[in-house]
Amino acid sequence: MTTVGEAVTSLEQSLLIAREAELEIFRNWLLDSGSLEVLNLSGPPGVGKTTLLQAFAREAEKLGRRIAAVDGHSFGATPLSLVTALSADHSSDIQELITELNRERSVVLLDTFEELEHLTGFLQQQLLPYLNTSVRIVIAGRRPLVLSWHRADGWPKIVRLLPVEGFSVTESHSYLARRGLGDKLIDQVVTATGGNPLALSLAADIVLQFGVRDFAASSHWRLAARSLVSRLLSEAAPDPALVSALEACSVVRVFDEATLSAITHEPDVDAAFDRLCHLSVIKPCPHGLMLHDYVRAIIAQDLLWRRPLHHQTLRRRALDHFRERLRTSSAEDRTWLIAEWFFLWSNALIQETFFGSDGVDNVNVDPGVDVDAAQLRDLYLAEMVGIASDEDVRLLGDVLTYPGTRLRVAREKDGRPMGFSTVVPVCTESIGILERHPVHGKLLERFYVNARRETLPKTADAATAQYLLHVVAASDPGGAVRRPLLRDLAGIFGLGGTYLCTTRDALFDQLMEVCGFEALTSSEEGGDDRPATGWVLDLTRRGFEGWIESIIEGRPTRAVPNPVRLESELQGALVHWNDPDWLATNCSILASAAPIGERPNIVRRAIEEALSRVRTEGSMGTEQACRALELAYMKKRANHKEAMCSLAVSRATFYRLCKRGIHTLAGELLTSWRSASPAG
């Protein structure tokens, strides 16, 4: 019969997500008795170091190894108390402890080492040198040991660093599903916690214990998050100014001294920036520093809840800073600065597709210089297996050999290509390459009427229009390759010209819509078997700044959707009028980028307001069509048969009225959106 202890251990193992790589490293290291390495787990608070140490202990116990474990929080942190805590008999004699550990071939686990750093000298001089190599040492703390074991002798050289990261979106979903949460709550919890394992565990407890149905509005989570933030910022707690600096940094993704100064309104931040460099919640990046993603999300949301006006002020300062900096930036800096503008856009789709946390640190995006075109072709075919047409493959070959193509390649740290993007400047040199493709040719034909075509520049250097062609990331289910490619691609908008693009999946359709692109062609016109929509964004009059600021501030130049898609979505919304779950997840046009919980009311209100406008301006026939829609779909207990009787019309006439009503509503919505959108 299974014991309670065995059941608890089994449960803990089932909930251990995304740590198999670390466990495999530990197993191999444990068996390598000749190794001198000290294994060092490091990472910010709440990332799961203690949980991983417990898993290490279970693995070692399976092999019959004795565990000697201490936590820096749990004893007096003196040499004597450390010896006593490690001893099986609680002896304070260090020679007895050394004999015991060597005899038992023990595995020593030291947790929360930031509380024990002052014992470094004792460990290096009186304990560790006398242990056999068969005794294995694991030390876990917020900072890597190499930062505290900075002596010039050999100690830092035997440390094997094992950083512990937060969960990716996929891993977070897996953990919460194992805890028993439903899909809707999982999405809300993942957004709120940012992949922080401790926050995920705490949030799951709150949902299950308090029966929470709307996590975003949960008062229990707000209080728990406040406590969690205090723990995350405990390193900076003695310095209120440093805590304020950390809160300010949570509204941006990347910051350097200039950004920190602009956001905090402090002219001299040299000392604060230096102190930030030494915190475990901070990590370096190519353009400065950044909070760990799974730390930033919680701090920022807590700040927004406690001090919304201050959060808004910090965000506005960041926007102003990046705007001014962009105006004088080099071409090299422009790309990452524009990506930071996108980060300040709170749109959920943009945040997930551009800035999710699925391992983006392992991928670098660079210009495709001296790249093997055959490798890129293989990546493309791997992603498009069974989908790519002969025209698609031929176009890729032409684009990769065209000298004017903007090619960016995503590479692993070992230099191996993992994906790529291409942009072709539209000019007389390149337009023939694009026009030979049936789908891209149709968009160019629609956009470039005769008068416009005559103004095309001859070469890529003089082009003011860019055709966004490929974003290829093969074997990338979590988006770790696609996200840095998209962030890099965002830099192209800084040119302020015209952008054309053809999309063939729902995600990129949504991206085009929220970014204010206008649909010009559809799959019915494209001459291709697969769904395709042609889009255009013209910034020649409005400019990049006006466009990006309007969409970030929630007053976007709304994309005018494809009329066929709009009518289809309208019909679906009417059919599911009384089904809020359906309306929340299937109305990307009518609800735009609104939060999921608000979408049903937004969809219904948009239809009701359009219906009212149509009636005010329409004919008697229009009124009858509107009445048919109300009776057929918009009542709590809509019934088509009763609606026909009420209108005194035949079945055929009734459905003609409904079709006319939907077509009229779609036309009214399109007109309204066009008139509400500023020029550009």
What homologous superfamily is domain 4-163 in, according to CATH? P-loop containing nucleotide triphosphate hydrolases (3.40.50.300)
Q: Which residue has the tokens 């969960």?
A: 167
d(CA 333, CA 491) in angstroms, rounded, equals: 9
Give the residue from 401, 393, 358 showing the smallest Cα distance to 472. 393
d(CA 559, CA 513) in angstroms, rounded, equals: 5
Q: What angle do CA 20, 26, 27 make, to 5 degrees?
A: 90
Cα dist from 112 to 70, 143, 298, 319, whole Å: 9, 10, 22, 38
pLDDT of residue 1: 46
pLDDT of residue 524: 52
**Topology given in CATH for the domain delimited by 361-558:** Aminopeptidase (3.40.630)
Cα dist from 356 to 202, 204, 222, 249, whole Å: 21, 21, 23, 18
pLDDT in tens, 100-134: 999 999 999 999 998 888 898 899 999 999 999 89
How many CB atoms sit inside 10 A of residue 652's CB?
8
pLDDT of residue 526: 41
Domains of the chain, residue spans: 4-163, 233-355, 361-558, 564-676
Q: How many CA atoms lie within 13 A of 152 on its CB side?
A: 0
d(CA 268, CA 213) in angstroms, rounded, equals: 46
d(CA 216, CA 15) in angstroms, rounded, equals: 24
Token couple for 14: 């089932």
d(CA 435, CA 189) in angstroms, rounded, equals: 46
pLDDT of residue 414: 76
Orientation of helix 49-62 relative to helix 4-14, angle to 10°: 120
pLDDT of residue 77: 79
pLDDT of residue 358: 47
Token couple for 412: 């692993």
Q: Which residue has the tokens 């993704």?
A: 253
Q: Which residues of the chain have pLDDT under 50?
A: 1-2, 4, 6-8, 11, 358-360, 451, 525-527, 678-680
Residue 424, classed as helix, strand or coil, is strand
Same fold, 4-163 and 361-558: no
d(CA 671, CA 668) in angstroms, rounded, equals: 5
Give the residue from 511, 315, 487 showing the smallest Cα distance to 408. 487
pLDDT in tens, 213-255: 888 778 888 888 888 888 888 888 888 889 999 999 999 999 9
